[in-house]
Chain A
Amino acid sequence: AQSVSQHNHHVILSEAASLELGCNYSYGGTVNLFWYVQYPGQHLQLLLKYFSGDPLVKGIKGFEAEFIKSKFSFNLRKPSVQWSDTAEYFCAVLFNAGGTSYGKLTFGQGTILTVHP
């Protein structure tokens, strides 16, 4: 079965530290990749996405992610985190079934990021 795995459940950092959140998926076919963020009390928001082209994608608020096809990975990075980045981060994968009329999005279990000032 297709699955998405996020390596860390809870990451705690100090402001200005660098961040890398891991995401791996199990599927050898075509995928579309997403990172969503859920700030406390707010709804899921798209952080960035990869559909095709340059495997290094840049998103909002200084986040970026790199798609490494050979490793089935789509890790999220930020060189210097801020207190306002405290949130839960979800990796999600659209496993393209080709010809279907909708996207079946599979989520990882989420990583809670706490940034101390």
Chain B
Amino acid sequence: ETGVTQTPRHLVMGMTNKKSLKCEQHLGHNAMYWYKQSAKKPLELMFVYSLEERVENNSVPSRFSPECPNSSHLFLHLHTLQPEDSALYLCASSQAFTPDTQYFGPGTRLTVL
């Protein structure tokens, strides 16, 4: 596969469930990002990892927990979510240490019941 892939593409979960979103980039990048895309709101940056180190946590509630085990993989662990967390979650990657284009995955459409 090429580019940035995300799984699953759709996820429905209850408020007491625990689930994880997965992102993988095949571009040789060393910075990865999680964004949240809600209806009628701008994309919101959630987390940034650069060289596998978290460098940005944009005031995201602790019920979202990111993990970056290596430069190609990024996870978003979800637990005890709220219905207002329903959104499209996008992963992106780029080169670190230089202004660079971010390349986006197709997203995971999350619905919290």
Contacts and interface: CB of A to CB of B under 8 A. Distances in A.
Contact of B55 (A36, A101, A105): A101
B69 interface: no
Given A43-B106, A44-B90, A101 B97 contact: yes
A103 B100 contact: yes
B42 A43 contact: no
A108 B40 CA distance: 11
B75 interface: no
Contacts, number: 57
A27 interface: no
A94 B43 CA distance: 13
Contacts of A90: 43
Given A102-B96, A108-B42, A44 B50 contact: no
B31 A101 contact: yes
A105 B56 contact: no
Interface residues of B, number: 26
A109 B50 contact: no
A43 B55 contact: no
B102 A105 contact: yes
A116 interface: no
Interface string B72-113: 000000000000000000101010110111111111000000
A102 B101 contact: no
Contacts of A63: none
A32 interface: yes
Contacts of B43: 90, 92, 107
Nearest to B105: A43
Given A4-B42, A102-B50, A110-B42, A46 B101 contact: yes
A102 B42 contact: no
Contacts of A43: 90, 104-107
Interface of B: 31, 33, 40-43, 45, 48, 50-51, 55-56, 90, 92, 94, 96-97, 99-107
19 contacts: A42-B106, A43-B106, A44-B90, A45-B104, A46-B101, A49-B101, A96-B99, A101-B50, A101-B55, A101-B97, A102-B48, A102-B55, A103-B94, A103-B100, A104-B56, A105-B92, A107-B42, A109-B41, A110-B42
